Structure 1
Amino acid sequence: MKPLIIIYGSTGTGKSDFAVELATRFNGEIINADAMQMYKGLPIITNKLTAKEQRGIPHHILGSIELDEDPWVVTRFKREATRLISEIRAREKLPILVGGTSYYLDGLLFDNKLVEKEEQESPEGWVSNRDQLSDKYPILKGPPDAILKKLREVDPVMADRWHPNDTRKIRTSLEIYFATGRRASDIYAEQRSRRESKVANQDPTPRQNLGEILLFWLYARREALDERLDKRVDKMVQNGLLDETKEVYDYLQRRLASGETVDRSKGIWQSIGFRQFEPYLQALKETPESSELRKLKQAGIEDTKTATRQYAKYQVRWMTYKTISSLREEKLLDRLYLLDSTDIHRWNEEVLAKGVELARRFLNDEQLPLAVDISETARDVLTDSVQKSNQQATPCRKTCDFCNKVFLTEELWQTHIHSRKHHKVVRAAKKRSLVPAHYAPPRALVAVDTHMSEGHSSGNESSTSLNPP
């Protein structure tokens, strides 16, 4: 038996602590799968465990890359993690992967599911020098709206696939076209055809290096987790978050002052806590005596809390709609166990004790219980998640003019127009006399073509309208 334990879960659920507990009890070593925790330093922004909290357990790929490095693509993570798994087993120890970047874990676990796409999407896969490419095609250095307009000309399929604010993916799709002379949408279509052919021919999925797998999903219900995350941000501020963000800001300014071009759409620049405090840090540097500093600081704290809550929500959605769907396809769903960390006071009982017992049975090759029998939360969430993962997302492109947001699936659109936040914005618009008083969302939604001014038309494109039906 070549055992491997993988720990999924959103931020704030206790994944890192749980991994250390398992490693302590079962002679394990930990492999980090959190993209931000790969960067050196910045322990508060990236939420790294302290040396004391690591309790002498070896942690790999933790604090190992420089601030100016791009985050690893999944192909690189997969290659390095596979090597480390083999080395840890050679020492007769248990490899434990843990992290909130499910993209990495899925890329390792589900062969070719994400890797083939990324080999074409990432600069590592299809062009040796990104700077030379942008020198040859100046549009790549242009404003985001110009890049999107060009992509619509050469590859409208990919242009419609990305959210207008997703500048990095839009630019990457255009880079693929310039670098290869082929549309990214055509390349992906060929890859899908090859994968479907493998499935039709019942080709085996090569997962021999991973061995026997046990998966944990640390989960907390939304309200409890949101409250916990807000308190964690307050604690981070008390522990020196602003000093760390200033360190990153000063480092960025030095690079910009030297004339260096910095791609801020990825890497450490996207870490939650830096972007949100940047207006405060800029004002602190330019006008240190400004009376607005206090307001900017508080805004940074609130924005960091909001971004953290949104990220946790995103992580759960990924698990629900991507990971669980892939686990079902790979016949691994029976090895996924949800541990309820909603009540922090019952963490030892609900997460630690149950997780340790499951790991013990797994390592001793004993029969494991049904995942839905672990707890009431496990039964409810897993059942609901499996049902949702069975539902295919309906592609669309709809714009809410009130909230200034674009949605690329019908499910996300419906969720938005029925949300409290959307209704609140509409009510505020009514008060400003921007809509007639008898407007009643969400029923009074008028389908319009958001690209009519550009000469495009699509039956799946619509927006909320200021004109009542």
Structure 2
Amino acid sequence: MKRISMVMCRPATNRPLVDTYGGHLNMDLVMMNPRRQKEKIVVILGATGTGKSRLSIDIASRFPAEIVNSDKMQVYKGLDVVTNKITEDEQCGIPHHLLGTVPPDEDFTRADFCYEASLAIGSIGARSQLPVVVGGSNSYVEALVTNHEYYNYHFRSPMYDCCFLWVDVEMPVLHKYVCDRVDRMVQQGLVDEVREMFDPEADYSKGIRRAIGVPELDRYFRTKKFLNRQARARVLKEAIEEIKKNTCKLASRQREKIHRLWNLKGWSLHRLNATKVFHRRGEEADRVWDELVAGPGAAIVTEFLYKNAALVDSGGFTCDPLLGIRFPHAIETTITASTVAR
């Protein structure tokens, strides 16, 4: 769900800088914690279509942050509609890394991702920005944060202090949404986009041609010149239905993978249930999104970044610089994951 409101795109004001390497806040009023060894990063997980990109823009609009793409198809150049890349307008001026940078015919492995993502995270941290890793390729994320085997001796182990936000939507609701999204993608030029790179000798096991939407259209492009208009329409319709079917399967696999990370591997995930958003339209949907996803997500990240750091102004008030709220210093203002909709 990639609806980006203009409210999200407005420049944030008075945002504190975050030293992600040391865990410090670069503010004069901060009573600092002992220096941490791990780099702080926010990781946004979720099945395709749940709203991960939208939440990443929300978070990066509230904090000094840059975004690292972790979708294995969106790293490639081209096929922007097929791979459902966030558009330049939707990016709201927030820097994005590993988005449309890899040549389309190259293989980009988990090891490649770990190497490139670590470089991006390091450069983001060096600019006192918060890295926000977002994408649907959970195997890439798992390799980045846990599997040291993907690193050779030239690079340090990926020892990150992670805040995991999981945007979740009930499967029947999500399946309907992604099927409708495929129809919109067709209207936006999906078929023409694939036609431009169609090659009858292409290998669909490599590069961007693995993306859902490319192999499904192979039969249509191979046979269309031999078919009459009615038969072409039928073959195209079958291809589009196959794209929908495979997208639904992908969403289910991604959700199952997240459940394994949560239940079997013990990842501490903050689940943000966005299902109700998909039952609303327009401004009401935006309101519910802010209430159930963006607001709780920002609260969780605030607690993750600023826990144990008291921000005290000269008047003896504890301040939340992000929300613009001042509390008497004696009042405890801890924000916990209990605010997450479940």
Q: Same fold judged by TM-score > 0.5?
A: yes
Distance 1:271 1:216 in 2: 25
Q: Which residue of 2 aligns with 1:298?
A: 237
Q: Could you tell me which of 209, 212, 218 is aligned with 1:278?
A: 218
Unaligned segments of structure 2, at least 5 residues: 1-22, 24-38, 278-284, 309-333
Question: Separation in 1 of the partners of 2:125 and 2:68?
Answer: 13
The Cα shift of 1:49 comes to: 0.9
Counterpart of 2:207 (choices 253, 267, 274) is 267
Q: Which has the higher strand share?
A: 2
CA shift, 1:274, in A, is 1.2
Distance 1:341 1:105, change over 3 A: same
Q: CA deviation at 1:206?
A: 5.0
DSSP-derived class of the 1:43 partner: coil
C-alpha contact 1:12 1:225 (8 A) present in aligned 2: yes
Q: Is the 8 A contact 1:362 1:368 kept in 2?
A: no
Work out whether 1:15 is the aligned partner of 2:52.
yes
The alignment status of 1:61 with 2:98, answered yes or no, reads: yes
Three-state SS of the structure 2 residue aligned to 1:23 is: helix
Give the CA deviation at 1:358: 1.2
Output aligned runs, 1:281-430, within 5 Å: 281-284=221-224, 286-287=225-226, 289-322=228-261, 324-326=263-265, 328=266, 332-333=267-268, 336-344=269-277, 345=285, 346-365=288-307, 367-370=334-337, 374-375=340-341, 378=342
Which one-letter code corresponds to 1:215 in the other structure? F
Deviations 1:163-196 (A, max 9, x none): xxxxxxxxxxxxxxxxxxxxxxxxxxxxxxxxxx
Structure 1's unaligned 5+ residue stretches are 120-204, 257-261, 379-469
Report the identity percentage. Answer: 32
Q: Cα offset for 1:215?
A: 0.5
How far has the Cα of 1:369 moved from its partner? 2.3
- Please give the secondary structure, in 2, of the residue aligned with 1:52: coil
Asked if structure 2 preserves the Cα contact closer than 8 Å seen for 1:229 and 1:308, the reply is yes
Conserved 8 A contact 2:299-2:335: no
Q: Provide, for residues 147-168 of structure 1, a one-character-per-residue CA deviation record: whole Å limited to 9, x for no partner.
A: xxxxxxxxxxxxxxxxxxxxxx
Match for 1:40: what amino acid?
K
Query: What displacement does 1:43 show?
Result: 1.0
Counterpart of 2:183?
234
**Do structure 1's residue 105 and structure 2's residue 149 form an aligned pair?**
no
Separation in 1, partners of 2:105, 2:121:
27
Name the SS for the 1:40 alignment partner: coil
- The alpha carbon displacement at 1:38 in A equals 0.8
Q: Does 1:243 align with 2:196?
A: no
Shift of 1:288: 5.6
Mapped partners of 2:167, 2:49: distance in 1: 9
- The verdict on how the C-alpha distance between 1:343 and 1:248 changes in structure 2, with shifts beyond 3 A counting, is farther
**Within 1, Cα distance between the matches of 2:51 and 2:229?**
39
Q: How does 1:83-162 map to 2 (within 5 A)?
A: 83-112=119-148, 115=150
User: Distance in 1 between the 2:101 and 2:306 partners?
Assistant: 34
CA contact (8 A) 1:36 1:271 kept: yes
Counterpart of 1:6 in structure 2 is 43
TM-score (structure 1 length as normaliser): 0.54
Could you tell me how far 1:289 is from its partner in structure 2? Answer: 3.5
| SS in structure 1 at match of 2:245 | helix
For residues 234 and 203 of structure 2, what CA distance do their matches in structure 1 show? 28
Q: Provide the C-alpha distance between the structure 1 equivalents of 2:209 and 2:252, rounded to a whole number of angstroms.
A: 21
Residues 1:265 and 1:309: Cα distance change in structure 2 (over 3 Å):
same
- Measure the CA separation in 2 of the matches of 1:324 and 1:60: 30
SS at match of 1:343: helix
CA contact under 8 A between 1:38 and 1:64: conserved in structure 2? yes
Contact 1:13 / 1:220 at 8 angstroms: preserved in 2? Answer: yes
- Partner secondary structure for residue 59 of structure 2: helix
User: What residue in structure 2 maps to residue 409 of structure 1?
Assistant: none
Q: How many Å separate the matches in 2 of 1:207 and 1:241?
A: 37
1:77 — aligned with what? 113
Q: Which residue is 1:447 aligned to?
A: none
Kept in 1: contact 2:167–2:273 (CA 8 A)? yes
Q: Deviations over 1:123-159 (max 9, x none)?
A: xxxxxxxxxxxxxxxxxxxxxxxxxxxxxxxxxxxxx
Deviates more, 1:272-281 or 1:33-42: 272-281
Q: Counterparts of 2:147 and 2:68 in 1: how far apart (Å)?
A: 19
Cα RMSD for the two superposed structures: 2.0
CA shift for structure 1 position 322: 4.0
Q: Which residue of 1 aligns with 2:84?
A: 47
Matched residues, number: 268
Q: Check conservation: 1:15, 1:99, Cα contact below 8 A.
A: yes
In terms of fraction of residues, the more helix-rich structure is: 1
Whether the aligned pair in 2 keeps the contact of 1:248 and 1:274 (CA below 8 Å) is no
CA distance in 2, matches of 1:91, 1:279: 48
Task: Tell me the SS of whatever aligns to 1:55.
Answer: coil
Q: Summarize deviations over 1:310-329 as a string: whole Å, max 9, x none.
A: 00000011111245423x2x
Q: Aligned letter for 1:351?
A: V
Distance 1:370 1:26, change over 3 A: closer
SS at match of 1:37: coil
